[in-house]
Chains A and B, each alone.
Chain A
Amino acid sequence: MPPSSEPTPPPKVRLPPHITSAPPRVGAPLTPPPPPRQARTYLNPGDLGRLQNFQFAAKLVVEGFYQGKHRSPYHDFSSEFADYRPYTPGDEIRAIDWRAYARTDRFYIKLFRKETDMSCTILVDKSNSMAFRGEEEDLTKLQYASYMAAAISYLLIKQGDKASLALCDDKIRTYIPPGGTNLALQHSLVALERVQPGGPTQLAASLQALFGIVKRRGLLVVISDFLDDTDAVFSALGMFAHRGFSILLLHTLTADELNLPDTQNALFRDPESAFTIAAEPDSIRSSYQDEIHAFIRDLDARAKARRMNYQLCATYEPYHKALEAFLTARNRH
Chain B
Amino acid sequence: MLSLLNAGFLPWLAALSVPVVIHLLTRKTRRKMDLPTVRFLQKSLANQSKLWRWRHLITLLLRTLALAAIVFAFLKPAWLSAFAGSRGQRAGVVILLDTSESMGYSAGGSSSFTKAKAEAEEALRGLRSGDKTNIVFCGAQPTLAVEAPTEDAQSLDSALQAAQVTEERADGASAVGLAVDQLTKMDTGVRKLIIISDFQRTNWADVRFESVPPNTSIAFVSVDSGRRENLGITSLRSRPATPRIGESTTVQAEVFNSSEVPRRVPVDLKLSDGRHFTDSVTIAPYSTGNVSFPLQFDKAERVEMTASIGEDNLASDNVRRATVDLRQMANVVLLTDEDLDAPTTAAFYLSRALHPDPASSSGFRVLPVRPKDLNNPTLKSADAVIVCNTPGMPEVQYEALARYVVGGGNLMWMLYGDRMQEELAAFGKHLPKAEPLPFKIESLADISKQGQGYVTLSEARYDSRLLKAFRDTASSLSSAKFTRFCITSEVDKRGELLLKYEDGTAAAVRTGEGSGNLLLLNMSPAPGWSDLARQDVFVPLVHEFLKGILLRDSGQREANPGGPASTTIVPTTAAVSAKDANGKIMPVAADKTTGSVVIEHVAQSGFYRVFAGNDEVASIPVNPHPDESDLRSIDPTELESKRQRQVSVLQAAAGGAGMATIQKGLELWPYLLGVAILCLLLEHAVRRVGTKRRPA
Contact = CB atoms under 8 A, between A and B. Distances in A.
A128 B367 CA distance: 143
Contact of B38 (A262, A277, A285, A286): A277
Contact of A278 (B30, B40, B692, B693): B30
Given A265-B28, A279-B41, A291-B40, A286 B34 contact: no
Given A256-B35, A261-B33, A285 B692 contact: yes
A269 B44 contact: no
Contacts of B44: 279, 284, 287-288, 290-291
B451 interface: no
B40 A288 contact: yes
A300 interface: no
Contacts of B692: 282, 285-286, 289
Contacts of A261: 33, 35, 694
Contact of B45 (A256, A259, A284, A295): A284
Interface string B521-537: 00000000000000000
B493 interface: no
A306 to B, nearest CB: 23
B87 interface: no
B36 A285 contact: no
B690 A132 contact: no
Contacts, number: 107
A283 interface: yes
A153 to B, nearest CB: 25
A282 B39 CA distance: 17
A277 B48 CA distance: 15
Contacts of A265: 27-28, 30-31
Interface string B662-696: 00000000000000000000000000001111110
Contacts of B50: none
Nearest to B35: A268
A285 B215 CA distance: 65
Interface in B18-64: 27-28, 30-45, 47-48, 55
Contacts of A283: 55, 690-691
Given A225-B36, A256-B35, A267-B31, A279 B45 contact: yes
A132 B35 contact: yes
A257 B35 CA distance: 7
Given A284-B45, A287-B44, A267 B36 contact: no
Contacts of A4: none
Contacts of A279: 41, 44-45
Interface residues of A, number: 41
A233 to B, nearest CB: 15
A292 B693 contact: no
Contacts of A263: 31, 33
Contacts of B691: 282-283, 285-286
A205 interface: no
B690 A259 contact: no
A267 B30 contact: yes
A194 to B, nearest CB: 22
A253 B35 CA distance: 11
**How large, as a class, is the contact surface on chain B?**
20 to 34
Interface string A93-126: 0000000000000000000000000000000000
A260 B44 CA distance: 12
A92 B21 CA distance: 70
Contacts of A129: 36
Nearest to B47: A287
Contacts of A227: 36-37, 39
Contacts of A281: 694
Nearest to A261: B33
B477 to A, nearest CB: 95
A287 B691 CA distance: 9
Nearest to A259: B694
A291 B46 CA distance: 12
Nearest to A269: B34
B594 to A, nearest CB: 101
B691 to A, nearest CB: 5
Nearest to B42: A277
B51 to A, nearest CB: 13
B35 A287 contact: no
B693 A282 contact: yes
Nearest to B48: A287
A264 B32 contact: no
A23 B372 CA distance: 181
A294 B444 CA distance: 118
A270 interface: yes
B32 to A, nearest CB: 5
B37 A267 contact: no
B62 to A, nearest CB: 16
Contacts of B47: 287
Most chain B beta-carbon contacts within 10 A, residue among A253, A260, A272, A290: A260
A271 interface: yes
A33 B43 CA distance: 56
Nearest to B40: A291
A269 B35 contact: yes
Interface in A206-260: 225, 227, 253, 256-257, 259-260
Interface string B230-259: 000000000000000000000000000000
Contacts of B34: 132, 268-271
A139 to B, nearest CB: 15
A190 interface: no
Contact of A266 (B32, B40, B55, B693): B32
A268 B31 CA distance: 8
A174 to B, nearest CB: 22
A192 B153 CA distance: 105
B46 to A, nearest CB: 10
A289 B41 CA distance: 9
B358 to A, nearest CB: 113
B29 to A, nearest CB: 8
Interface string B9-23: 000000000000000
B36 A272 contact: yes
Interface string A273-315: 1011111011111111111100100000000000000000000
A269 B45 contact: no
A67 B129 CA distance: 101
B95 to A, nearest CB: 62
Contacts of A286: 690-692
A39 B608 CA distance: 124
A128 B39 CA distance: 15
A283 B47 CA distance: 13
A325 B47 CA distance: 35
A266 B55 CA distance: 17
Contacts of B40: 288, 291-292, 295
8 contacts: A132-B36, A227-B39, A265-B28, A268-B41, A269-B32, A270-B34, A270-B38, A287-B45
What 8 pairs between A and B have smallest CB-CB spacing? A129-B36, A287-B44, A291-B40, A286-B692, A285-B692, A270-B38, A267-B30, A268-B35
Given A262-B693, A277-B41, A287-B47, 15 more contacts: A128-B36, A227-B36, A253-B37, A257-B37, A259-B694, A265-B30, A267-B33, A273-B38, A277-B45, A279-B44, A279-B45, A282-B692, A284-B48, A285-B691, A285-B693
